[in-house]
Every structure is written in C-alpha cells, then in structure tokens.
C-alpha cells in the first residue's frame, strides 16, 4: 500500500499557493512538496474563512445589516486570496468563449487584459455570492460558509489529478499532478469538517453538488483546451462555491 507522506508544513506551502497571507520564509526544498500539499487545500479554505466568519458574527452582533456584512465577507475572501480564484474565473470565461481553437483560448487566458466575458463572470460571481451569504447570515447559517469554503477548495486537487495540464508552464503545471490519496484526504477533511456545521443530508447534497460542478467544468475544459490550467482551477473553486450556496439556499 503506498505510504501517505504528509507534513504539517504542507499547510504553509498550500497557503503560499492559495493566499496572500504573510507567512514565514520557507526553505526552497519545501516547494518540492507542492503536489503533496494539495491534501491541505481544504484546510486553507478553513484558515481563510474562520476569521471572516468571526468578523461577520461580530458585525452582525453589533447590529450591522446582513447585506453589508455579506459584501464585506466576500471582499475579505478576495483580499485574503489576492482575488486569485476570481482572476481564474474571469480568464477562463474570456478564453473559453472568446477563442475558437485551444491554442487561441490559452493565449487569451494568459493575456492580462480582461474581456467582456470575464467582466460578466465576475459581476455574476460576486453578486450571487453576496446575495447567498446575505441569506445565510439572515437565517443563522453563518458558519456553513466554512464548510463551503473547504469543499470548494477540495475540488481543485481532484481536477488537477484527473485532467492533464493544458500548457507546459503556469501555476498548475509547476505544482504537478497530485496522487489520488492526497486528493482523497482533501475531500475527506472537507466533508468531516462540514459535518460539524451541517446535518448529514445537507453535507451529502453539497458534496454531490461540488462533484457535479467539478465534473462539468472538467468536461468543458477538456473540450475547450484539452486539459486544465491554474485559471480553470480558480474557476472551479468559484463555480462550485456558487453552486453549493444556491443548493444551500434551497435547503434552508
């Protein structure tokens, strides 16, 4: 049976990849474990979201209305991650629907300029998340945001594992393709933590939603660019988060 080689500092490596938080310097050899560190992607979701939930709880307790709190919550997500996932969503939207060949789509995705599809994708993403978090905060579902943050980030290692790299450079390519056991750990951690905040049937519904969203994005990415890139991974996180929020709205 293959050995599971996980280290506590893998979490720091994952935080370097997924956040803009100030971190202690890491030895250069530590980054040889980038593909292994994907097991902790879901934990990074919790690290980002727990302080934001605490802040939101405090603001709501002091009487700030839910819509404003939700906007600040989403802004906090973007601040702590450097809007990396939002950038990926915008680039993916521009590339997938702005080009007619895989090569041209990848070229558009690498371009730093944003197009119409990217702008619309960002507007829709931020709007839907803001509205859904407003509803969550208004109904006492504040802490479920942690579960959604973890589950949405657990989708990324799975996509990295089962789709080839679409280009020979870039963030996703530099990280590598994680082994299946590390993808499984990321998913199981997310599901386990989700069970602390939500009932089993809701966790099942959200996990199923995240899986379906990931499969759909993977199928589209394979057809459009013959694989995945860091931008596609960011889009997967954003879209799975939105899909789970919408499903949660139907369940509460």
Tell me, yes or no, whether 235 lies in a domain: yes
**164 burial type by CB count under 10 A (0-12 exposed, 13-18 middle, 19+ buried):** exposed
Higher-confidence position of 34 and 146: 146
Chain center to CA of 179: 19
Tell me, yes or no, whether 114 lies in a domain: yes
Q: Six-digit token pair at 29?
A: 């050899």
Nearest to 49 by CA among 67, 24, 74: 74
pLDDT at 30: 76
pLDDT tens, residue by residue, 40-63: 999 999 999 999 999 999 999 999
Tell me, yes or no, whether 236 lies in a domain: yes
Q: Six-digit token pair at 237?
A: 């996180």
**87 burial type by CB count under 10 A (0-12 exposed, 13-18 middle, 19+ buried):** buried
Query: Could you give the number of structural domains in the chain?
Result: 1
User: 165 in helix, strand or coil?
Assistant: strand
pLDDT tens, residue by residue, 97-149: 999 999 999 999 998 899 999 999 999 999 999 999 999 999 989 999 999 99
Q: Which residue range(s) make up the domain with 233?
A: 10-19+38-251
Q: What percent of the chain has pLDDT over 90?
A: 82
pLDDT at 95: 96
pLDDT tens, residue by residue, 64-84: 999 999 999 999 999 999 999
pLDDT at 142: 92
Tell me, yes or no, whether 159 lies in a domain: yes
Sorting pLDDT into bands at 50, 70 and 90, what band is 1?
Answer: low
- Taking residues 176-201, what's their average pLDDT? 93
CA gap 122, 179 in Å, rounded: 32
Tell me, yes or no, whether 42 lies in a domain: yes
Tell me, yes or no, whether 66 lies in a domain: yes
pLDDT at 2: 67
Q: Which residues contact 163 (CB under 8 A, 6 or more apart)?
A: 218, 221, 222, 227, 228, 232
CA gap 12, 206 in Å, rounded: 27
Tell me, yes or no, whether 3 lies in a domain: no
Judged against a pLDDT cut of 80, whether residue 174 lies above it is answered with no
User: In the block, which residue shows the tokens 């995705």?
Assistant: 109
- Taking residues 187-206, what's their average pLDDT? 96
Tell me, yes or no, whether 2 lies in a domain: no
């Amino acid at each position: 049976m293959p050995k599971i080689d996980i280290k506590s500092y893998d979490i720091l490596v994952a935080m370097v990849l997924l956040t803009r938080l100030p971190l202690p310097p890491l030895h250069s050899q530590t980054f040889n474990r980038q593909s292994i560190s994907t097991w902790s992607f879901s934990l990074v979701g919790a690290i980002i979201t727990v302080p934001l939930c605490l802040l939101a709880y405090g603001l709501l307790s002091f009487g700030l209305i839910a819509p404003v709190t939700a906007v600040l919550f989403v802004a906090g997500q973007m601040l702590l991650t450097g809007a990396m996932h939002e950038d990926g969503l915008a680039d993916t939207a521009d590339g997938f629907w702005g080009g007619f060949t895989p090569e041209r789509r990848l070229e558009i995705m690498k371009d730093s300029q944003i197009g119409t599809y990217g702008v619309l994708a960002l507007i829709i993403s931020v709007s839907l998340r803001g509205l859904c978090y407003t509803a969550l905060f208004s109904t006492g579902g504040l802490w479920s945001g942690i579960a959604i943050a973890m589950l949405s980030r657990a989708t990324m290692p799975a996509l990295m594992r089962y789709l080839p790299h679409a280009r020979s450079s870039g963030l996703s390519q530099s990280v590598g393709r994680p082994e299946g056991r590390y993808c499984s750990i990321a998913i199981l951690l997310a599901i386990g933590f989700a069970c602390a905040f939500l009932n089993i049937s809701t966790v099942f519904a959200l996990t199923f939603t995240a899986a379906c969203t990931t499969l759909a994005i993977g199928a589209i990415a394979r057809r459009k660019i013959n694989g995945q890139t860091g931008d596609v991974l960011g889009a997967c996180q954003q879209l799975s988060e939105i899909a789970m929020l919408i499903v949660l709205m139907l369940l509460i």
